[in-house]
Amino acid sequence: MDEPAAQYLCRSDELAERGRGVVFDVMLWRQPARGFALRIDGRAVAYINRCAHVPTELDWNPGDFLDAERRTIICAVHGAQYSPATGHCLGGPCGRARLMSIDVTESDGQVSWYPSRDIAPLSFDDEAPSPSGENTTP
Ligand code: FES
């Protein structure tokens, strides 16, 4: 089987250590969704922007995923906390679940992500999610 083609995500310098996340559009199970990338302990990581408790986006402002101490990813809705390095639930209503991770690589000042069986890039025929997360298809 062919290796999935790497997809451009952002420049390396857009990901500050435990800084704001870079949000990007994907297709998850053929539906528009968003991923987000962070830099944690020097390493770029990425996840689907979807809480494991209720399938809603996590960020409390666009791109703000981390708690005040910048130690955990915290869901804006009910406060579930996730390890930013692994996506595992650390506390709150996410139980034993974890965030859905997206494979990323970084080289030559560029971060790229890899599609998987479940996560695909948007094509020109796909509609990106609206800013509110609502599907605007009539
Ligand atoms: S929706 Fe994230 S904690 Fe409930």
Q: Is 60 in the pocket of ligand 1 (CB under 6 A)?
A: no
Tell me whether residue 75 is in a domain.
yes
Parent domain of 71: 7-120
pTM to 2 decimal places: 0.89
CA–centroid distance for 133 within its chain: 14
Tell me whether residue 128 is in a domain.
no
Query: Is 137's pLDDT higher than 60?
Result: no
Cβ-based neighbours of 135, under 8 Å, separated by 6 or more: 31, 32, 127, 129
- Segment 39-62 shows an average pLDDT of 97
Q: Is 97 in the pocket of ligand 1 (CB under 6 A)?
A: no
Instruction: Give how many domains the chain has, as a whole number.
Output: 1
Question: At 60, which CATH number?
Answer: 2.102.10.10
Identity of the residue numbered 126: D
Q: 3-state DSSP call for residue 136?
A: coil
Tell me whether residue 76 is in a domain.
yes
Tell me whether residue 138 is in a domain.
no
Q: Is 50 in the pocket of ligand 1 (CB under 6 A)?
A: no
* Nearest ligand 1 atom, CA 92: 3
Residue 127 is classified by DSSP as P
Percent of the chain scored above 90 by pLDDT? Answer: 85
